[in-house]
Structure 1
Amino acid sequence: MLKNTHDSSLILERQRHRLLVPSILLGLLTGAISVGVNLSLSYGEEFRNRVIDFAHQQVIIGPWIMMGFTVMAVCLSVGLVSRFAPEASGSGISHLKGVMQGCWPFRWLRVLVIKFVSMIIGASAGLMLGRAGPTVHMGGAIGQGLVNSWPNQTFKDRSVLIAAGGGAGLAAAFNSPLAGLVFVLEELDSRCSSFEFFAAGIACLSADMVCRIVLGQYPTFHLVIAGTPPLDILIAFLPLGIVSALLGYLFNRTLLTAQKLISLPLWPRFFWWFVLAAMVTTIGWLTPDLLGGGQDFVNSILEGRVFTLQTIVLFFIIRFIVTIGSSSSGAAGGIFMPVLVLGALLGLGVGSIIQLLFPELNVDAKLFAVVGMASYFTGVVRAPLTGIVLIIEMTGNYTLILPLFVACFSAQIVADWLRVVPIYDALLENTIKKNESRELALSNGIN
């Protein structure tokens, strides 16, 4: 018995040692890709702002300049994906899960290139899409590429490195290595073994180090809270969790419905792209701060930017609709950051209402905004631990732990009662059904 245990330990050690070098290389490459994404998005946002400034100087044709720029960018972003790598559309996390489950092969190099280019073009146009999901997808693609090129890698190593690359992608996107590791355990590979955990940890650490060396060690969000939130206001985070679950359910259902509607042959795809471009142009003309992934917008909230309750509701509705449209367009881009933006607006709104109804509690609406990001993420993705760890790392503030637990796990419980299907699982299921329908139609045509 002891000999068998010893032999198992030796096998496990050898597997870990065999995965050490490829895991480090995987993290370094994923970190480098993430740095490229981050810098490219910064340049793209700067270019978009220049276009908006120039358009505002042209009183008559200004809106048409913006419209033309947005339509061209949307068509190019979606067209590249549609023509060369349809599996690169959206965030790619559901596709990555399908690859790990053996549902389809992984054209990793094609996905890597098209994902990067399409996302940069779409985000530069102002589509409300984030970089985290695509970085997770590209990290998984790099993992697949290492498996293909590295000698003596087994089929099991394939799933290990793909999952580790995905986790490294999330770690690099937000400077959050622990969240990347938890995301692998909670979302990508729930059956994760000890050496999978080892590979993911090494990859997340390596990717995060690359990003910190190049981009700096500052947390993603700048939040200043005076002391630890008192225990007597923890109960106030329960309604935030409940509302997050309800609106998370609405988000998931709306996104799935929108994708089905757009796939119907009622109108040509260009019609939907034109409608999306018109919405983005209108928002860019009136409130350009709302465009893009939304990280700077959230930072402005956490740094004390004041909104009326009516403005918060209006901004939430705008971001909700255009995020759904952007994600359904077929362009490469994730919903991770847009969901966090919606959560920040939701939390800010709930915090403002509690301030009005119970002024004696002396609550800080910014605190509700940051907790709302994690609770709304939980309502949509159904991964509460990832949400909690992610927000702690993104703010560098451990004092949020108790409010985060209350809001996230109340959102999880309500989502359980509502039978909310996690969004990435629902997207995966839809893709599988779509592929089965296509194969059935082809076989009927042949017969």
Structure 2
Amino acid sequence: MAPVVDVARVEYQGNGLTPLQDYGKTDRHLWISRLNASRREKPAWARGRSTPLSRHRHRLMAQAILIGLLTGAVAVCFHLALDYGELLRNRILDFARRYPEWGPSIVLSLALIGVMLSATLVIRIAPEAAGSGIPHLKIVLQGRRPFRWLRVLIVKFVSTVVGVTGGLVLGRGGPSVHMGGAIGQGVANLWPGKHSEDRPILLAAGGGAGLSAAFNSPLAGLVFVLEELEWRFASLEFFTTAVACLAADMVCRAVLGQYPTFHLASAGSPPLTLLPAFVPVGILSALLGALFNRSLLTAQSLIGLRSWPRLAWWLILASMVTVVGWRFPTLLGSGQDFVDGMLEGSALPPEAVALFFLIRFILTIGSSSSGAAGGLFIPILVLGALLGWGVGETIRLFLPELNVDSRLFAVVGMAAYFTGVVHAPLTAIVLIIEMTGNYTLILPLFIACFSALLVADWAGSLPLYEALLENDWRKDRFKRVIDRIRS
């Protein structure tokens, strides 16, 4: 057994204290008294811990709380601004439809001003703010591009609100993630002291907090960072992101209320015999999701050609928005109210579902390719809800004895189509559970989402944000080559 003095010396040095000299066993009482004094200076839970690591952890927690609070505040303002923009657009549409002679010109002017102003803000001030911003966030995390956080934050906010007010089919999910990442970058830049190694952690935490604040879904924000942003996830990064997501969600719930994003009327769990019917939902979601990704990439490539006048595309898009807004005003904007109507029991025959799916599909592609800022989360979920509803109505039509509830298929379709487009099944499942507040659909969600993922992989479809990231990177490299040739 080691002498007491030797044990004391080891523990004494392990606590970060260096003895002046070794007095030997005769002075062991001096060693023990000084060791006990060093123990009393620290609480029991902190003895033997690394002080620099503790300070690092505490700093990250403080930064995460600040990021979450700021992201939640921005998300609340963003949510209210978008709601007001949609309300203003609907009032203008109601007024214009009273005058069939010159009313369409009002709707066309509103749509054209919305798309031109929204896209011009992005093109002139912050091109990296175009679209959802998630590909830009991923490329910044990879260290391949700088982040002008304040410029992106302002342009993203204003451009998305203006575009949605004009009738573009855009959502708040992607912009909230991008703005949350911008806030994380800003906190990292402005925090006293230089801690460049923490910048990616705070940026990813801000992105997760943005998704948490957008849909009152803190778990989905955490899973999204792990699954989609593909950031390293040690315990420190995990807890930093979790704290930011929780802080952002608390702010939004305190101001906007503790309500789910989609209000699903009471619906029980589907019987186990009906579970195989959700496999076709996953298969169709994968195939139509691959078509969506390919169509969006093709549209962005065509519109990016210099020979194609961007103003002409804006005029075509505004004309489509005018026609749809005049006949089906609820199909414009994010579409959240439209899905709420479906989940509350509004009757939609299969032929109407097919028409609405086609309209929203085209408008989503066009709006995302216009150059304006705006997200794809809710537009993708709307397409998935229409797809799931159509499958449910078809089953109910041909197999009435199953007593199918199409609302359940609409909810499962949202998650499955999101998986088919983004290839993030865990995010889709957790997001839909939190957005609907319904945990009884966990088995159908897993069946449909993983069916969609398997079929999408089999079809060779790339995840949407990964494909957009690579597309942007290729365009940047091509532009640099052209600039070198010209110089």
Query: Same-fold call, TM > 0.5?
Result: yes
Please tell me the residue identity of whatever aligns with 2:119: V
Partner in structure 2 of residue 322 of structure 1: 363
How far has the Cα of 1:8 moved from its partner?
A: 9.1
Aligned counterparts, 1:286-365, within 5 A: 286-365=327-406
SS state at 1:188 partner:
coil
Matched, 1:88 2:129: yes
- Matched with 1:105 is 146
Q: Output one character per residue of 1:255-305: Cα deviation in whole Å (capped at 9) or x when no partner.
A: 000000101123310000000100111111111010001111111000001
1:262 matched to 2:303 = yes
Q: Is 2:465 the partner of 1:424?
A: yes
2:279 to 238, 252, 256: 238
Which one of 213, 217, 223 corresponds to residue 258 of structure 2?
217
Taking structure 1 as the reference length, the TM-score comes to: 0.97
- Partners of 1:176 and 1:322 in 2: how far apart? 27
> Aligned partners of 2:50 and 2:434: how far apart in 1?
33
Q: Which amino acid aligns with 1:51?
A: I
Q: In the aligned structure 2, how far is the partner of 1:273 from the partner of 1:8?
A: 61
Pick closer, same or farther for the CA change 1:386–1:8 going to 2, 3 Å.
farther
Q: Which residue of 1 aligns with 2:162?
A: 121
* 2:434 maps to 1:393: yes
Q: 1:11 to 1:193 in 2, by over 3 A?
A: farther
5+ residue gaps, structure 1, are none
Counterpart of 1:61, as a letter, is: W
Q: Which amino acid aligns with 2:476?
A: N
TM-score under structure 2 length normalisation: 0.89
User: Which position in structure 2 is the counterpart of 1:196?
Assistant: 237
Q: C-alpha distance in 1, partners of 2:435/2:442?
A: 13
Unaligned runs of 5+ in 2: 1-13, 15-46
Distance in 2 between residues matched to 1:121 and 1:154, nearest whole Å: 36
In the TM superposition, residue 13 of structure 1 has moved relative to its aligned partner by 4.4
- How far apart are the structure 1 equivalents of 2:75 and 2:420? 27
* Whole-angstrom distance in 2 between the partners of 1:403 and 1:66: 41
**Cα 1:415/1:51, change in 2 over 3 Å:** same
Q: 1:10 to 1:237 in 2, by over 3 A?
A: farther
The amino acid that maps onto 2:336 is Q
Aligned with residue 88 of structure 2, among 47, 56, 62: 47
Match among 154, 163, 166 for residue 195 of structure 2 = 154
Structure 1 stretch displaced more, 13-22 or 25-34: 13-22
Is the Cα–Cα contact under 8 Å of residues 309 and 352 in structure 1 kept in the other structure?
Answer: yes
1:235–1:31: structure 2 CA closer, same or farther, 3 Å change rule?
same
RMSD (Å) for aligned C-alpha atoms? 1.5
The count of aligned residue pairs is 443
Q: Aligned partners of 2:201, 2:168: CA distance in 1, in Å? A: 33
State the AA in 2 paired with 1:314.
L
Whichever of the two has the greater Rg, that structure is 2
Provide the C-alpha distance between the structure 2 equivalents of 1:94 and 1:10, rounded to a whole number of angstroms. 37
Would you say the 8 A contact 1:371–1:403 is kept in 2? yes
1:295/1:341 contact within 8 Å kept: yes
Whether 2:105 is the aligned partner of 1:64: answer: yes
* Counterpart residue number, 1:440: 481
Please list the CA deviations of residues 337-396 of structure 1 after superposition, one character each: whole Å capped at 9, or x if unmatched: 100000000000011111122222211100000000000000000000000000000111
